[in-house]
Amino acid sequence: MQASQPEPLALTEPLMLPLAPEAVACGFPSPAEGYWAGDLDLIQYMVRDPTCTFIWRAAGHSMTGAGINDGDLLLVDRGIDPVPGKIVIAVVDGEYTVKRLDVIRGRAVLLAENLDYSDIVLHEHTEMTVWGVVTWILHAPKIRRGVRPRR
């Protein structure tokens, strides 16, 4: 994707949603005690600094192993240090990409999280800057019928 500058989030009001009183069990069900524990401001919860936060739409399949699917929305913070292990938006030779940042044998590497795609090993003539760090991945759950996980 050719590099161009997106606009930061324009947040003027909180986004308040009711918060359930306890965590929901992923194992055996537990009895529900109450139905409301107050409100949660999603903006305050998900956005560290609105002036540094942007939303990008993912395109492609190279990051499916990290839970990023084609069409997902990525919340990206430009104010977070891009340390190895973080998923980042990088500009490589003028093109945007989303990959996991790592350092291997002293060289920066942008790791794909799908074995069908190659990692990007940065050489001395490669221009790369980290544009921002992915802080949240937003997507709707997939609909699956009659499918059970393998044991």
Above 60 in pLDDT, residue 71? yes
CATH top-level class of 49-138 = mainly beta
pLDDT at 145: 81
**φ/ψ bin of 117: left (φ > 0), alpha (ψ from -120 to 50), beta (otherwise):** beta
Give yes or no: 99 in active site. Answer: yes
Catalytic residue among 30, 62, 86, 142: 62
Catalytic residue among 4, 86, 99, 142: 99
Q: Distance of CA 149 to CAs 118, 141, 144, 145, 146, Å? A: 28, 15, 11, 12, 10
Q: Which residues pair with 18 in a beta bridge?
A: 39
Give the pLDDT confidence of 2-20 residue by residue, as tens digits. Answer: 555 676 666 677 766 666 6
The domains of the chain are located at: 8-46, 49-138
Give the pLDDT confidence of 31-47 residue by residue, as tens digits. Answer: 655 566 677 788 888 88
Enter the tokens of residue 89.
């938006």
